[in-house]
Amino acid sequence: MERFSELLDDLYFTNSNLAKEIILTNYLRKTPDPDRGWALAAIAGTLSFDLFKRNLIKTLMMERMDPYLFDMSRDYVGEMSETVALAWPQSPDPVRLNRLPDLHEVIEEFKSRDKAGIREYLITLLDNMAPAQRWALLKLGTRGLRIGMSARSVKLTLAKMKGVDIDVIESIWHGLTPSYTELFAWLEGKAELPDMSDVVTFSPVMLAHPIDEEKDLAAIKPETHIAEWKWDGIRVQISSNGKETKIFSRKGEDISRSFPDLAEAVDFEGVIDGELIVKPGGEVGSFNDLQQRLNKKKPAKSLMARLPAHVIAYDVLEWEGEALRALPLSQRREKLIGVIKSHPESRFEVSEILDFSNIEDLRALREKAARTGGLIEGLMIKALSSAYVSGRPKHAWYKWKRDPFLLDAVLMYARRGTGKRSSFYSDYTFGLWAEDGAILPVGKAYFGFTDEELKLIDNWIRSHKLARFGPVQEVEKELVFEVAFDAVQESKRHKSGYALRFPRINRIRWDKPAAEADKLESLAKLVGA
């Protein structure tokens, strides 16, 4: 556990991605099994505990520390695990350990104990640990490491250790389980690459470049490219070996449990790339509709009936044992059309090819997308000659999203950020004017501004405080943000009656009086635009 704590500490205080890779590589090479594998799982997000929850940590602190003092401390520090690690009051008669357990011993205990046993063991560990070790333990349990390493950066580190392309790691990753002993045996040349022939795995997806209108448009012609709608769903990969089916997100997360109705409809052996949407009443639903089904481990039958899952298929990567990725898109499209026709299941349809003769036609299609109320984000433009390659190959696929909507909104509330932003008010709630003269919240944003602008906003908030609600600070309704967002939907969950899609701060309007900010009726005009 001490080594793991030192690893997280080093990664947290290192900014360079390359330096992080070196730190992780050294740890993996020097640390024996199974500890290194469990550390890898923790960083990559593949480790979880059923009974080790954030609420348990909070409960333990509330039993040992004045709740008001704890709330103030957490607000000041900006993050719960760090607050507990620093402020943990030792038990009156603590159980003393001769040594801190190794990482794998901690994990085994947390996976084998019941709720009461986990509580007891957690108290013992916290009583015997230094603050940095407590922080590592709590981060381990709650899965919120925030050390600047994603699952992909972990896989890239492994690929560099072996001297192979990251696609090799991706091709086996989802067939492996912690503590990854067979993976490390292969990395060290002690075994062959793990055989995944009978396992349904994820293949890294092909992505598009944002189009450069000045440089890229001139090369796009109807004889060399196709155009498709860019639907506002989630990119998925449906993989089936004829016995088992899995639905993966674009990042490779297995989301099959959230969409059992779709998984059960698959009766083929192959890999299809597409956009997952829902179809309430047989029509394409909004992203807000889709969100009701995301992250549901056991969706109710009534929910699945009301919001049935559907896939707009873009591509076919494998079919009945034949690899198709190296074929040009034109041939893969022909295959895809045949595949969907031969499986007339209402859950699938082939993405529509849009007619265009010139660039002006494409511009008109893009403008049409902007009038769908957010259902369509814009256009995908793909070279017919393109093979299916992971990542973003140049001059292959482009995305041409419609311009975001802009509104001037008034800052209402602010909250401290976390991690490196814990000393600043960086999370903002903003609103628009209602007919009765009140300002009603329409969204939250915590990005879109520079570090220098963050400091200026923070100073303004501190000098314009009104009231405090726990960690939330109400401010005078004077500062105007120009907010960019992709779509707006009517919403019964919000007091204003509206929900913004992907709101972000586009500009700080220091010059604009709050009275001149936009009204709610402006959003009403955009619903269905």
Binned average pLDDT, 10 residues per bin, the chain of 529 residues? 95 92 97 97 90 88 90 79 92 92 96 94 96 94 84 92 90 89 96 88 90 93 97 95 91 91 92 96 90 90 96 95 94 94 84 96 93 88 95 92 91 85 89 93 92 94 90 92 88 85 93 93 75
Looking at residue 164, what is its pLDDT?
94
Q: What is the pLDDT of residue 151?
A: 86
Contact 151, 252 (CB under 8 A): yes
pTM of the complete model: 0.72
Q: Is 230 a catalytic residue?
A: yes
Helix, strand, or coil (residue 425): strand
Q: In what order do the strands lie in the sheet with 376-383?
A: 209-210, 397-401, 376-383, 225-231
In this prediction, residue 143 carries a pLDDT of: 81
> Do the beta carbons of residue 156 and residue 21 sit within 8 Å?
yes
Instruction: Determine contact, residues 420/401, Cβ cutoff 8 Å.
Output: no
CATH topology of domain 405-526: OB fold (Dihydrolipoamide Acetyltransferase, E2P) (2.40.50)
Query: Whole-angstrom Cα distance, residue 443 to residue 253?
Result: 28
Rounded-to-integer distance, Cα 15 and Cα 298, Å = 39
pLDDT at 346: 76
SS3 for 361-416, per residue? HHHHHHHHHCCCCCCEEEEEEEECCCCCCCECCCCCEEEEECCCEEEEEEEEEEEE
Q: Which CATH number applies to 209-401?
A: 3.30.470.30
Supply the pLDDT for residue 102. Answer: 96
CB contact at 8 A, 194 and 183? yes
**In angstroms, rounded to a whole number, what is the distance separating the alpha carbons of residues 73 and 475?**
21
Residue 453: per-residue pLDDT: 94
Residue ranges per domain, the chain? Answer: 2-142, 209-401, 405-526
What is the H or E stretch that residue 270 is in? strand 269-278
Give the Cα separation of 255 and 113 in Å (integer): 27
Residue 179, preceding peptide bond in cis (omega within 30° of 0): yes
Token couple for 436: 């009765």
Classify residue 230 as left (phi > 0), alpha (psi -120 to 50) or beta.
beta
CATH fold of 2-142, please?
Answer: DNA ligase i, domain 1 (1.10.3260)
At 398, the amino acid letter reads Y
pLDDT of residue 419: 66
Q: At what angle do helices 54-64 and 131-142 cross, to 10 degrees?
A: 140
Please tell me which residue in 20, 139, 230, 382 is annotated as part of the active site.
230
Helix (H) or strand (E) holding 12, with range, is helix 2-12
**Contact in structure between 78 and 85 (CB atoms under 8 Å):** no
Rounded Cα distance, 158 and 117, in Å:
35
Model pLDDT, residue 528:
55
